[in-house]
Structure 1
């Protein structure tokens, strides 16, 4: 006897109890059919037991609720059987009010106290709601102020960014100008070196520069003034103290003047270059 057949036999014994099990075919097909019936029967029986237990629990709850309602009716001396339809409706409303107010003993005093308590809770809730509404208004005002501040900060940021861009443009122009000045300075230095080399090639010396010639010209003017002064002084003498000495001095001055004039003429014939220091 296999396991399925053994389970079928046990099930049949449980079903028939002390009665004799009816004869049945003991083939594999019939055993499988009986085993399937056994599985379905046990599942249905289990569900039926659960449903019966639930019905029993609900019955106990309904009985307890009925007893509680009976206590409530006894406390107010009311019997449902003596009430008309309107009275039953009023009683139902009364019971509903008691349930809403969470009154365990539905007397008029308890219901009034519960209603007053509910009214106080309602007023407190309304007060809290008003306070919450006030806080919400304050939060909205604060939110508006914050939004305005954020807009101002964004505007300042945009202005600062625009100013920074302008400064960067000016800085770029200054850098370009600085680079241009440096390049021009390099060109000027290169030109100066080039022309100095050219002047050195043609034999330019410091004594033929404009500053040296100007100095010689000033010296010549000074000598001429001295000669003129000496001539005027000689003319003022009626009898010179020593004619030979006077003639010698005059001749020296004339020779010196002639030499200076000769140097000046020679210098004027040569090409004149201005001194770079002037």
Structure 2
């Protein structure tokens, strides 16, 4: 269908619809989009109108059949003397109550079996409703328990949140202190690293190797002391030779003089010992 034909059908449908309602069609712009939307609505409206006409015709047909059946039943009742006008008021009232109950139970006749079946169906539905009600009550109790627990947990969380909010300021101050300490420690670390580099340079310059340990140094010191003990008499002797004159002859005379002094010292010591022995 072309756009022009669709627009013509939409205009005709709008005119009939608003005319039936006693109103005029409002002014608006007919765009391709609006025409397409209104044409879709028109199609749905016509389909629903046709369905409503079919249902109404069916209802009218059934009503006519029910009226004919009612007239026939009324004629039969009048022929057998059971017309409504000739019946006692209590019988009419009972019949109306019976008919109302049948309508309420949605049954087509008033036989006892139909009432029993309807009552059984109602009992089954009642049982189903009671079971569903029990399930709903159980679920409600469970949800109520969950709600109470959730409220208790929410209260606990609110109290915890309040405590945390109170601790925010001290924690922030402590964090600032830690930040300051970390900066100081970082500076100290850089300083110590630089000192370590300097010490390594000094050790490398001094010829330090990893084999030179404290134990090795202690052993070397003890060995040095032993050497000093062994070389001290030799050094003392050598120092005594430093007093000798550089000339060989003079040196020989000096040596003889030393020997004489040594002999005099031995003689003096011997005399002292002899005199000490004589005295004792």
TM norm structure 1: 0.37
TM norm structure 2: 0.37
